[in-house]
Every structure is written in structure tokens, then in C-alpha cells.
A and B are shown apart, each in its own frame.
Chain A
């Protein structure tokens, strides 16, 4: 769809303003008693639809998965520390690397990005919540139950062991007869629904709920990258959904999609998987690039160099990301013409990526850089991402890639991009936005220790992988032989992995210390530039007492600083002065009420999946009916409970009988 519509300054541009029929308490057909609006107690968390609380929960749970995925990584590294290692056996090892990859992609980096989307996207565009708060809660609960479902496999016969890429026919019923792969299929389907629903939600939020004056090209870069990543999710998820369905039909109902004896072509799986998988890579990295694009200007005290170019290069990556998938398949034998085309397209996706790097560097150039922990992580992001990007270019040379693919050289590459890149960016976000979220500053000194340990551990773990890869160590091997010359660097990598683990302990210690501290963060600790800082820390449930009118990307900065006669910048107002406003009656602001339905609906998904997995069809039917009933109960419940004290016409969008968002979700694949 064309994104040309911008709020005209004359029109009553209500961000998310809504007019709906007033819910009539007498005829309120809600089935469940409405949970009381509250910000305390477990029920308030279970039923919340507040994007900020959902964001916090996303962040917290992702960190838990991060620890679990990290433990899996440590087991892998322990096994490989020495040649012919015998710490965990072959089968456990295969489960570990499968779950490590699956966890880090679907349960760590994606939801951590989602945590930041959830929390900051509405704040950055001056909205009071996302477009569909209850759908947002549904996404969150599906993420919870999808992850739990996936991990329940450990207690039900063994975790998935076909790799995060799940290449058929190794994952077919003939060669993987247990339920391991079924857990992977159904778990990813549930997580895929969560991602699709939240992609729709964020896209609508960005398109429709911007504050007055917030044109698309006044949106902060993080919001832009969220926008691009959401479109990638929207279009990539259905492809993996189809691939997983085909595999599911093969495994459970004897279909022949990947059965070579009946003419099925396993290469089709690879095409479908990587047609999803490559955009997925950009889904993982773009949010982190967005965060870095917020942090660098703040601490360099300069606007982002070439904002439109950074935005357009993000969009370009989003488009070009669809035309490079077969570079994961250079050794498959697609023929010279196809490989040549994908080789060239892969090289050219490096151009917009390189442009970003140069623009970030130019942002630093001539700046007044303050080295906070957030800035450390952002600079750390750039430096490691450069290495990952350049090694990526070396893979695009097809002949070279036929030597590099499936070796540790590739493992090194994507960990530089995803660990040194995406995760460093996300940690930068933690340090940068922590005072906004919790009203307290993470300890900077401990934070810097965290940074240096993580950087050191990262380079020690993944740096030598370039070497052992070129020395011929293939991936996904539970052991390598003595005399292959791989012993030394593998040991170094294992040591590095434990240094990374230590750095995370430091981070968690920092969180604990901060949470116990009584010190309150100032309103504007970093001298920030964008409007998410133009409200309290932590923000009130309705985000802004007064939604700001936006005139420029760095709205907050320009309210604090102005040019004086000789053209240099002078501070004209303190943050407190900018934030000051007349008192507002909270009762005049309606927020959507908490609801049980997202939780109830989401919990029915794993029930359905268990039924399908064990061919216990009655269970599936019960789950399916539960899902449909959940959506009906949901659509009969007004999005906002009636307020006794304030009978005006301002209702809410997914109001009593509009039921539409719910029907949409009801048909989500």
C-alpha cells in the first residue's frame, strides 16, 4: 500500500483518537468478569494490554531464554573444547545446536527486538498505545506458550534435533521418527502466528497513530527500522508457515512433498526456508541498527548524519533482502546462471549496509562524544558488525563460498552479525532506555565491565572460528578428530564462551543492584533528542499527558536547544521546563481495559498443537473450539470497560461489536 498519507496540520489528527459507541453496561455481553484496572498484582500482569508492560515482559522472558540458549551454547563449547570430546553425546549435541539456534533466533533476538518495539514505538511516535492492544497481548502470550511448547519437548522424548534450518528429508518421518521435529514444527507455527499478528499491529500503529506533525520522515530511525522489519515479518512468516505445513503433512499424513522416491524435491524446502530465512536475518538486525541510530546521535550530540539516506538504505535492505536467499544454497548445484545472479545480488546488498556504517561514522565525526555504556555498546556494534559484514562479502564470491559454506567460517560470520551486531545493539538499547523504563539508571561502571567482558569474550569465541573454518572444521559436528590441527583454537573459543557467560552475569548483577538502589534517574539523563523522553520516566499508562506536536526528527533536542545569533547552538530550556505542562485529569484519558481473553485464547494454541502432535484429535478439537470461543468472547467484550465517572462519547477502537481485529486474528494462519 502506498504510504503517502500524512496528517495534515489542519485536520484533527488524533493519534489513535477514536470514536465509538459508548458501551452500555446493562447490555455488556462480556462473558468473563472484567479484571480490575490495576498496576499491581499478578492478575494485572496476566491481563494487561499496556504496551509498556507487555514490552517489559517480552524483555524479561527473552533474557530468561537468552540464559537457556546460552547454557546450550556452553554445552556445545564444552563438548568441542577438545578433540573427540565426550561431554554430551552425539544426539544431545544435535539437540543442543538445534535448540541453541532456534532459541536465539525465535526466542531471544526477535522478542528482544519486540520488547523494544512494544515499549518505544508508541512513545516514539507519540501514541498512547498500539493500534490493537489486546492483539498485542495475544502476540505476547503466543510467544510465551510457543516457547514453552517448544521446550516441553525436552521432557517429552527429546528436543528438536534437525537444526534450526530443519532440512528435509533429514527431518522427514523416515529419518527423524521421534516427535522431536514435530515439536519444532508446531512450536514455530505458534511463534509465527505471534510474529505475524504483532507485525500487523505495529504496521497499523505506525501508519495510523503518529502524533500531530509526525510525518513519516520525522519518525525516529528506530521506528523506521521497526516499520521495515514488520513488513519483512509480514511477508516472510507466511512462507515458513507454508514450508512447515508441507513438512507437517509429510510427517503426519504421509504426503510426498519432500519424498524423492515420489518425485518430491528436498531443494524446495531449502528455497522456502531461505526465502523466509534471509529476510529473517534482516528482521533480526534492523531493530538493532535502529537502536544504534538513536544512541549515536544522542551521545555525539549531533543529528544522525544523512537521516534520509539511513532510512532509505534500511528500506533498500528490506527490499533487496528478498533477492538473495539462494546464497545460502551455493553448494546445492542450482546451476551457474542462478548462482551467478544470486552472487551479484548478494554483493549489492552490501552497499546499503556499508552506507549505514559510513553514515554512523560520519555521525561521530565532528561530534562531542560522551562515552556512556550505551555508547560503548553502539560503537561495539559498529566495529563487530563491520567484520561480520565484510566476511559476508567474502561468501558472496561463489567459488569461495563453496569452501566456506557449512564451516565455522560461516558460524563466525553470522555470530559477528547477530551476536556482535544485533545483541550488542539491543544491549545498547537496555543501557540507553533503562532509565526511561524503570526510572533508574543501570550502573555505568558495572555496565562498562559488562561491555568489555562481552566484547573480549565475543572476539575470543567467534574470532577463531574464522580460522578453524578455513582450516576445514565443518559446522554441526559433535566431534572432530585429533590431528586435524583444530585443538588450540577450539579451546580458545570455549574459554571465550565462558567469558561471555561471565559478562552476562555481570549484566544481571547490574540489574539486581539497580533494582535495589533508591537513586532516581533524572528526567533526561542522556540529553536525548527524540520524543519518547518528553514524558515521565517511567511513563504513565497513557504515555503522554500532553501529546507533543512534532516539527522535526529531533523534536526534544530542538525544544531544549536553539541557534543563537552567531549560529551556534545554545541551551534555551532544561528538560524539566520542556516537560512542564498544566495538570491533566487522568479520568479524561481513556485507556483500553485489561482483558483475560488474549491469555485464554493463546493458551488454547499449544493445546491444539499437542493434540495434533500426538494425533489425539479430540484434544485438538477442544483446543480449536477454545481458540474460536476465545475470539468470540473477546469480540463481545468492549475494549474499554465503561467508566462510571466519565460518560462521554470517547470509546475505543476495538469497541464492543466491532470485533474486526479479532476476526482477523481468528483467521491468521
Chain B
């Protein structure tokens, strides 16, 4: 209990501190919100406390550019809570560093040799001193340790009444499975079942299919999308994160710390945002090396107002729009026939990746702002380049497509762009 109290008290103090260092970057935003006075007050009081450290850290971090993946200038309560401990610890570290540097520089300036005969007193040690500089760091670290442990358990708590979303890592893009519109609960489990890759062969050979143990089982039909994660502003979201190939690492720096996406395991990560964050687009990226195009496994998190979110959620659960233009209708035929896109891609909202279906679900492709691991804006030029040669667009891309003519590409692009909500 006492530990919790101490932790809480410290956190309050710390969250003030972290606000300070953020104030350098945030002052413009704050001014707009009429909070500039407070920011100034906090900044002034800080100057007495940590001037050198803060100026260094703050200026360097703000260095006149925008940093969409900054871990210092963050958005959500979760990320702020991390910084309320991380930044004070960094500042303490800087303080200790300055102290040790001071000692070393004092020694090398003060104790230079003054000639060949200069032989100093041969001191072999000092028990008291050595006990002191063993105990002092130990005590300091014990305090930090208690705070760190408190924070670990605080962050590990899974909130109730949150929106559940399932996140599946693929080389090199993220699949998102949402519950049905209006619902918020999901409980994905890994289960044992027939190996989708072996079902046909087993049938042909008249035997039982081989079993695999990492099938994702959901309670009911889900809605599958890719690339852009939509979350409602001000509401807690619990991501259930797994992978269907290698290890990935799901990271939205401005909202939360990282969590691995591991095949055969499901990890949970809480994301949250402030109510006034609605409309913001947050950057995210896979942070664990996962092969050739690891650098191209990005994503966006769109924070919607609750109304916008509900609208979007309903729209992606609807069946795909039928193409109307002649070009797009031709494109659909190619998609399901000559170009063979449907071997890997679904255009049905409830279908999730399994077996040979390894591509993202494209049901409402046209409403996604980005595609191909969120590295490219979703427009005709990029789509054309992508379809012409996916591997040139994104090295190692698993999309295999035969050589298409310009006309075929035009048709496919038209079809993909017709997949609106």
C-alpha cells in the first residue's frame, strides 16, 4: 500500500516534470489552447532545477523539425505515463553524468605530474569511501527500481470496457480485425486445427489433415482491414497482437510503448488517446527486424471522434461496392480471373487471412489513405507502379503477379479505386 502511495505521489511530481520537457515542443500547441501561461510558469520553475540538462535535452529534441514518431512529445495518457517516469530518470542520469565528469575533469586538471621526481602518496584504498559509493548508487537505484516495478504493473493492467481489436503481423503489413459494428468485445485465441495448407492434399490422399497449433480463433465473424488502424478518441483500446509468420513489433511511439507480435502467442497492448485528439493521424512502425522490407512495415493510427469512428466501423463491415464504370468492371474480372489477384486477396469484409490467402483484405481498399505497408499514398500513380512491379516498389514484397499490360493495370487500378465504402 505504502509503495503504491509513494508511487502515485512520485508520479504526480513526475508528470509535472515530463510536461516541462515537452513544453519546448508543445508551447505552440499550448498557446493555441490558451495554456501558454501555465507552460511558461512551469518552464520558469524548471530552470532552477535542471537548467543544463533540460536545455540540452529539450533543444536537441525539438531541433526545429516535426517528429511524428517522437517518444518525448507524445499524445495519449499511456505514453505520457511512461514519460512521467522515463524523463525524470533520464534527467537523474544526466545529473550523475555531469557529477562524474566533474570529478574526472577535476582530477585530470588538478593532478598532473609535476616532474620525474613527483611521486604521490601511495594510497591503496579507503573503505569508508568505497562503501559510500557502493551504497549511494544502490539506494538511488532501489528507489528507481520501486518506481519502475510500480509502473510495470500499472501499464500491464488491462482496462475494462475497452474496445478490443485483433492485430496480426504479416511480412510486411499489419492486418486489423475489428468486432462487428456496435460491438466492442473480442477474445482471440490460438487453437489447434486442420492445417489450411494441408487440407486439399490430405483430401486427395484420403487421410486426416495435419494439425497446426497457431490458428486464430475468434468468437464470431470479424471485420478485416489493413494498413490504417482507426480508434475512437478518448476511449481505451486493447490490441490483441499476434503474427502469422515471423516476429514483428507493434509500435505507435506517440501513444504507447512497443509490444512484440509473436507467432504462437497473443500479446495485449493498451492504446488510448485524449478526447481532443480526434482527427489526428499518428505514425507507427514495426520495430523488430522481420526481413527484407522491415523498414517498409509502417502503419497509421487514425484517431476519430466517436461518431466518425462508428460511421467508419459500420462502413467497413458492409459488403464491397460493386464496380459501376466499364473499366472497373473489366478490372474486377481481371482481379478474379486473368490476373489471379483473388488467389491471395479477399474482397469480403469478414474474411481473414489464412492458408494461401496471404494478402490484405481489399474490401474497402479505396478508403485507406495508404497502402503497401503504409509506405505509399493510395493514388493511381502509386498503384500503377505497384502493380507493374511490386518488388521494385517494396523490396521482397510477397505479392507475385504476372507481367501486366498497361491497359490491364489501368483496369485493375480502376477496380481497386472503386472499392469505396
Contacts and interface: CB of A to CB of B under 8 A. Distances in A.
Contact of A364 (B108, B134, B171, B264): B108
Contacts of B294: 94, 476-478
Contact of B130 (A174, A359, A403, A477): A359
A387 interface: yes
Contacts of B291: 94, 170, 175-176
B72 interface: yes
Interface in A344-360: 344, 347-348, 350-351, 354-355, 357-359
B316 to A, nearest CB: 26
Given A355-B130, A397-B144, A467 B60 contact: yes
B257 interface: yes
Interface residues of A, number: 104
Given A361-B100, A470-B72, A343 B149 contact: yes
B321 interface: no
A336 B149 CA distance: 8
A488 B111 contact: no
B141 A348 contact: yes
B160 interface: no
A305 B123 contact: yes
Contact of B119 (A262, A471, A569): A569
A367 interface: yes
Contact of A406 (B86, B125, B258): B258
A398 B97 contact: no
Interface string A347-383: 1101100110111011011111111000000010011
Contacts of B245: 169, 174-175
B24 to A, nearest CB: 13
B249 interface: yes
Interface in B83-102: 83, 85-86, 89-90, 93-94, 96-97, 100-101
A344 B145 contact: yes
B119 A347 contact: no
A308 B127 CA distance: 11
Nearest to B257: A402
Contacts of A302: 120-123
Interface string B246-262: 11010101001111101
A479 interface: yes
Given A262-B212, A386-B101, A393 B107 contact: no
Interface string B56-85: 000011010111111110000001011101
A262 B213 contact: yes
Interface string A460-481: 0000000100111111111111
Given A90-B292, A303-B124, A368-B120, A403 B253 contact: yes
B107 A478 contact: no
A472 B63 CA distance: 14
Nearest to A557: B122
Given A305-B125, A333-B262, A396 B148 contact: yes
B107 A348 contact: no
Contacts of A354: 133-134, 137
Contacts of B330: none
A340 B79 CA distance: 19
Contacts of B295: 90, 476-480
Contact of A91 (B65, B112, B396): B396
A513 to B, nearest CB: 26
A301 interface: yes
Contacts of A266: 246-247, 262-264
Contacts of A348: 138, 141, 145
Nearest to A467: B60
A265 interface: yes
B230 interface: no
A488 B251 CA distance: 23
Contacts of B262: 266-267, 332-333
A357 B291 CA distance: 40
A306 interface: yes
B287 interface: yes
Given A307-B124, A368-B120, A357 B100 contact: yes
Contacts of B324: none
Interface string A382-407: 11001100110110111111111111
Q: Lowest 5 CB-CB distances: which A-B pairs, in order?
A: A472-B69, A402-B257, A260-B264, A400-B86, A485-B65
14 contacts: A91-B396, A267-B265, A348-B145, A361-B104, A364-B107, A364-B108, A365-B107, A393-B89, A403-B257, A407-B71, A407-B287, A471-B61, A472-B285, A569-B122
